[in-house]
Structure 1
Amino acid sequence: MLTLSGAKSAAASAARGRHFLFNWPLLALVALGLSGCMTATTHVAGADPADPAAKVARAGYRSTIAPYDSLRPATPAPWRDRNDSVAPQPKQDR
């Protein structure tokens, strides 16, 4: 596909009288190839993560099931008693 495109471009520029062939895909490929060879210019703010001697914070253990309460079915109780036990207390008159 690229060869056919290059051949068409060369034929068109030869017909127009231009002899210099400027190939954009080739230029992009060369630029990408050269940019891969450049050194990194950014600096790591802290310790190098690839350094095995770098000090790191200890990982603490927290259980994911520590506040677990058994959710087995409770024994049935009269609904009015259960409702009264969780209802807000009435305010006393002053």
Structure 2
Amino acid sequence: MLTLSGAKSAAASSARGQGSLINWLPVAVIVLALSGCMPATTPMTAADPADPAAKVARAGYRSTIAPYTGLRPATPAPWSERNGAAAPQAKQDQ
């Protein structure tokens, strides 16, 4: 059935004068769909994952909040001192 429909579409496209891209499009789609079903072909050079005596790298721990230091509860400074430190200094007359 698939061959018959492919032959019909090939005959129809050649009768219309369309390019060969349309003829190869279904083949390309099928090849791409089946390529996902292929097993990985890389050889296994490492130790067997099922071997409990296999050497593995150590698992390390790095805290995501290591540089954090809590600032609460903090005693507030008097507002007049903080305001005076932030205000521009008065110019002296020369």
Short-chain TM bin: 0.3 to 0.5
Q: TM-score, normalised by structure 2?
A: 0.36
Q: TM-score, normalised by structure 1?
A: 0.36
